[in-house]
Amino acid sequence: MEKSIFEEMIATRRHLHTMPEEGWTEFETTWLIVQRLREIGYEKILVGRQILDLDHVVGRNEELVARAIERAVGNGVPNSFIEEAGGYTGAIAILETGRPGPVTALRFDIDCVPVQETDDPGHVPNQLGFRSQRKGLMHACGHDGHTSVGLAVARDLFNRRDSLCGTVKFVFQPAEEGVRGAVAIAHSGLLDDVQYILGSHVGGKCKLGHIGLVHGGVLASTKLDIHFEGLAAHAGMAPEKGRNALMAACATAMMMAGIPRHGDGASRVSVGKLIAGEGRNVVPAHAYLQAEVRGQTAAVNDFMVQSVEQIVKGNATAYGVQSKIVFAGEATTLIECPEILDIVREVARDVPGVEAIDELNTPAGSEDYTILLRRVVEHGGRGAMFRWGCNHNGHHKRDFDLQDTVSMPMGFEVFTRFVQRVNKRE
């Protein structure tokens, strides 16, 4: 890896770490990505709504988006760029070699997590002065590293484009957290000509110095926003005239925890947020839950979704309130393409610093890259996912870090060597 590319990659990661943006609000991040790509020399760059089927955009909070646009403009993002992006985020850059060959896509996610970064002075971003500058937001899952690796790969492959054939598409995807962004990109059709697709994630069960080949264990998932609408009343004078949305929401949260586990595979359920009520002396008329289910197979995940729907419907009836479920994100299981995993394994063995290749097949969360991979496979392509290791105390935790100077070069090398292998000029 060239020293200049390495130094730029690390500096970019640390800058992005200071300015985390949650899903669908990544305007400053997208602007940085596009500026860098144009500086490298990319001419074909699609941005924002140009890469999305807007009918399949889910989990987008318009109030958060509006505030993010105002912040981005205040921080120097041109209004003309916001207009170019149509008020949406993410970008796809296309490297066309002008020579016949395969179309290869590489995917990098760009959003952060709503986590407050630790004040621990031993935390590396605190030691070196690149902690998050945004309260309640942090790159606590490593997507700052993903984005920076993607830009470094884009620069490296552009520099060596004369040794390549075919086309390479660099997908900088918004809103991976909550598995919201991939479905709109998939339905855009921009990946329907792809023959190879490769995605990655830092960490997980993969330790520093290891490259993990993901065979399975990526859980299907559905994200659910659940709304209850009741009737307010005086809590002391006439409580019988009210319809308690808060109690319906609490009952729902408790009953969801009791959904039977499934005999055909691992399942998960989580209620991560509950907002309800008007005041202590008012029967609560409004309640809102953010929840998710996961399953080792699509059928197990569907069982979990159907169970939630039954619970919500039953509690709405029991408490005399109205209910609504909004689907706010989705991921599927990972399609395994053994021949592509073999290529990743072969190129990873020669990467400097790699001590071991892990074969990963145990439940390890969800990932909406699966939506992109499935779309590619449905149109005749193949793909894979790998992990580049780091040592961490857990993703989505306030002290997450990824040892960037050691871990990121390994992810970079796997991506670049994979493309040099499948898009090699004869």
Same domain, 321 and 341: no
Same domain, 303 and 343: no
For residue 105, the enclosing domain spans 3-217+334-422
So what's the pLDDT on residue 404?
98
Structure tokens at 16: 């992005």
Nearest CA among 126, 132, 128 for reference residue 10: 128
Same domain, 104 and 205: yes
Q: Look at residues 300, 330, 360 and tell me which one is the last residue of a structural domain.
A: 330
| CATH number of the domain bearing residue 297 | 3.30.70.360
So what's the pLDDT on residue 296?
93
- What confidence tens digit (pLDDT) does each residue in 16-26 have? 999 999 999 99
Same domain, 90 and 140: yes
Find out whether 331 and 370 touch, Cβ atoms under 8 Å. Answer: yes
So what's the pLDDT on residue 54?
97
Same domain, 193 and 248: no
The count of structural domains within the chain is 2
Q: Look at residues 273, 301, 330 and tell me which one is the last residue of a structural domain.
A: 330
Find out whether 246 and 276 touch, Cβ atoms under 8 Å. Answer: yes
**293 C-beta neighbours (distance < 10 Å), count:** 25
| CATH number of the domain bearing residue 29 | 3.40.630.10
Structure tokens at 212: 């993990």
**59 C-beta neighbours (distance < 10 Å), count:** 21
Secondary structure in 3-state letters for 159-226: HCHHHECCEEEEEEECCCCCCCCHHHHHCCCCCCCCCEEEEEEECCCCCCCEEEEECCCCCEEEEEEE
So what's the pLDDT on residue 363?
81
Residue with tokens 């808060």: 246
d(CA 287, CA 272) in angstroms, rounded, equals: 14
Same domain, 87 and 164: yes
- What confidence tens digit (pLDDT) does each residue in 367-413 have? 999 999 999 999 999 999 999 999 999 999 999 999 999 999 999 99
Q: How confident is the model at residue 426 (pLDDT cuts 50, 70, 90)?
A: confident
Q: Look at residues 270, 304, 330 and tell me which one is the last residue of a structural domain.
A: 330
- Residue 153's H or E segment, with its range, is helix 143-159
- What is the identity of the amino acid at 206? C
Same domain, 210 and 349: yes
d(CA 292, CA 321) in angstroms, rounded, equals: 22
Predicted TM-score (pTM) of this structure: 0.93
So what's the pLDDT on residue 362?
84
So what's the pLDDT on residue 364?
77
Residue 376 DSSP label: H
Structure tokens at 83: 């207009």
Structure tokens at 409: 């070069």
Q: How confident is the model at residue 365 (pLDDT cuts 50, 70, 90)?
A: confident
Structure tokens at 67: 């505030």
| Mean pLDDT taken over the chain | 97
Same domain, 284 and 345: no
- What confidence tens digit (pLDDT) does each residue in 53-90 have? 999 999 999 999 999 999 999 999 999 999 999 999 99
What crossing angle do the helices spanning 404-422 and 338-349 adopt, rounded to 10°? 120
Q: How confident is the model at residue 193 (pLDDT cuts 50, 70, 90)?
A: very high
Same domain, 124 and 64: yes
Nearest CA among 104, 94, 136, 141 for reference residue 118: 136
Same domain, 145 and 7: yes
Same domain, 178 and 266: no
Structure tokens at 424: 């090699």
Mean pLDDT on 148-155: 98
Q: Report the relative pairing of strands 220-229 and 322-331 from DSSP bridges.
A: antiparallel
Q: How confident is the model at residue 48 (pLDDT cuts 50, 70, 90)?
A: very high
Same domain, 90 and 70: yes
